[in-house]
Amino acid sequence: MYTIDASVQVSALNPGDPEAAACREFLAIVRERRLPLYSPTLMLVEVAAAVASALGDARHTLALLVVLRDQPNLTLVSLDEALAARAAVLAATARLRGAGAVYGAVAQVYGTTLVTLDRRQLERLSPLVKTARPAEVLRALSGGPGA
């Protein structure tokens, strides 16, 4: 089970990103195997903002969000008061920005691995939440070296 943040989704869409291939392959395996995903609804907002900014095309961005949102293995988690309180504690204790803390809180609540490219999340959340880069999870899922 995984919590995937927006950095992974956005990287997969950007062929110029050095992490794009690993992100695309990781996401393809997750879809193919229908591995359970838990992500905050905030992910949709972050992906929309990044994609719309890059493309300058709201129609294509919104179409992409429908595909993303409608994945059968994805549970979108709303930021309610309890999750916000948990995220606030993570923000304070791990010195994270708000969005990173929200992803961390979702990973804590659902017992998932937070998959991200965000260095702060990887470093600061690792004592509190299992974190990994897409390439690391990809190796584990593929049974490759370091799995």
Residue 112 is assigned to a structural domain of this protein? yes
Closest CA to 83 of 104, 52, 62: 104
Q: Decide if pLDDT at 144 tops 70.
A: no
Residue 109 is assigned to a structural domain of this protein? yes
Residue 147 is assigned to a structural domain of this protein? no
> Contact 110/129 with Cβ under 8 angstroms?
no
Residue 16 is assigned to a structural domain of this protein? yes
Cα 97 to chain center, whole Å? 15
Give how many domains the chain has, as a whole number. 1
Q: What is the pTM of this model?
A: 0.89
Task: CATH number of the domain at 108, please.
Answer: 3.40.50.1010
Residue 104 is assigned to a structural domain of this protein? yes
> Domain span at residue 122?
2-142
Q: In angstroms, rounded to a whole number, what is the distance separating the alpha carbons of residues 98 and 128? A: 16
> Contact 88/75 with Cβ under 8 angstroms?
no
Q: What is the mean pLDDT of the chain?
A: 91
Q: What is the pLDDT of residue 57?
A: 77
Residue 110 is assigned to a structural domain of this protein? yes
